[in-house]
Structure 1
């Protein structure tokens, strides 16, 4: 390793010294101008000053980092917390004014709040034809029934009963106190009294004949289109009328209808021979309001030009 060379100046001449002994070397060093020495010192200063500035900057940066780190540890709570994104305003349904607090469960029952809803006004429209209730038109039922050998008119006709022909062609025996519920219409053709019925009709409490043990009598007409007309009261309560009729060499037709309208009941009975044949019809009916039931028993066809036609014996109402 080479030792640095020291220059000693004497006057204007610079003599080099031995770095280890301090003695001057044998050679005489050349003299170094003073201006050069001054310039040498200025260059060293120039190097030291920037180094000092850089070192100071590094110290400032380190100190600033330490301060920032310290503040970050102590003031964490002061930093702003992230906020949820803002939502657009949403209208409340229903409005806040109509809302109510939800009660919490408790030991004591809490009455349930009640809310009244204002009635909704709707235009009233008349119901369509299909929606309108169909009024009751009335009912009429006609069935045919057999006849016993002895018919007790008083037992069958709790409301009223009638018998024709006991005393003569135009005689009519009826229940005393029956209020004339069963009525015959005015005759429209000649009639005849007969005693040819195979059944017997009896009664008690009649008028004008109070009692009968049993009679086969009745009345009849001749020729097509002739016959008899009867009527009985009708109402909203179901009623039953039983009609005892016959025919001689003819076809008889029964028609039953209500004065209030509605259904009509019909039936026919035919007797081709010249002897009297009888039958009974049970008519059950009900009207939508007060009215009457009308019965017609006429000769629909006559098979004997002499006197083919229909006959009438009795009727009961209950």
Structure 2
């Protein structure tokens, strides 16, 4: 019996070279063991810039409540016209001051015949008033009022209390930043008619809501539009 070659056991199972051993690397024709590719580490995400809020403008029309509580309706700001004559205005004390009277065409006349009443408890220069029927009016085609309300970037609600006598009134609402003009009309050829116009809007900081309330047609006498109050919240 010949002696076993050096380095090999003399009995038992034969030795099988395993992949990955030095012998495997030296054997022609064998491919190296393939490994699943390792995914690269995720790159840090870039911060997402906040998107500017979309502009918005919507106008609804309804009857005026029998008594309007301006303190409750204008939690941010409010203005009432005509308490002590055509040039008289009362504002919310410590309000935001974001409602601006931009004038308008025609002569203003004070009145005290509004079908609804207006009350407040936080006014200046008149601290409080209960159930006043006062307001201002302007007669003749093209006459009326122009108002502006600051935007600020967030959603806001404006309530405009206005009316007419023997006329057709035209309300135009638009944003100073651009976009379409929304139009609402109110008409009564015989007597007085009033409305609560609710304007919901969102405008960028520095932009304004622009409102005009004017006489579009008259039906006799001094057909006019009138203005009682505006409230902002």
Name the TM-score, length of structure 1 as normaliser: 0.57
Cα distance in 2 between the residues matched to 1:159 and 1:186: 22
Offset of residue 100 of structure 1: 5.2
Choose between structure 1 and 2: higher helix proportion. Answer: 1
1:147 aligns with 2:79: no
Partner of 1:93: none
Q: For structure 2, which runs of at least 5 residues remain unmatched after alignment? A: 1-30, 41-51
- Counterpart of 1:101 (choices 10, 33, 37) is 33
Q: Which runs of 4+ in 1 moved over 3 A?
A: none
After superposition, the Cα gap between the structure-2 partners of 1:203 and 1:262, relative to the gap in structure 1 and judged at 3 Å, is: same
CA distance in 1 between counterparts of 2:80 and 2:225 reads: 16
Partner of 1:170: 87
The answer on 1:310 being equivalent to 2:196 is no
1:186 Cα deviation from its structure 2 partner: 2.7
Q: Secondary structure at the match of 2:139?
A: coil
The residue number in structure 1 matching 2:140 is: 223
Q: Specify whether residues 205 and 190 from structure 1 end up closer, same or farther in structure 2 by C-alpha distance, changes over 3 A only.
A: same
Q: Which residue of 2 aligns with 1:75?
A: none
Aligned pair count reads 194
**Largest Rg, 1 or 2:** 1
Distance in 1 (alpha carbons) for counterparts of 2:74 and 2:198: 13
Query: Aligned pair in 2 of structure 1 residues 235, 272: CA closer, same or farther (>3 Å)?
Result: same
* Cα-to-partner distance string for 1:43-94 (whole Å, 9 max, x where unaligned): xxxxxxxxxxxxxxxxxxxxxxxxxxxxxxxxxxxxxxxxxxxxxxxxxxxx
- Residue 114 of structure 1 is aligned with which of 20, 30, 38? 38
**Cα distance, 1:137 vs structure 2:** 6.3
- CA deviations on 1:163-204 (whole Å, 9 max, x unpaired) are 111111110011011132111113432111111111110001
The CA distance in 2 between the partners of 1:113 and 1:271, in whole Å, is: 80
Identify the residue that residue 296 of structure 1 maps to in structure 2.
212
Task: Answer yes or no: is the 8 Å Cα contact 2:98–2:150 preserved in 1.
Answer: yes
Q: CA–CA distance in 2 between the matches of 1:268 and 1:185?
A: 21
Task: Name the structure, 1 or 2, with higher relative contact order (CA <8 Å, separation 6+).
Answer: 2
The worse-fitting range, judged by mean Cα deviation, of 231-240 and 168-177 is 231-240
Query: Is the 8 Å Cα contact of residues 140 and 263 (structure 1) preserved in structure 2?
Result: no
- Give deviations 1:199-237, integer Å, cap 9, x for gaps: 110001100110001100100011000000011011331
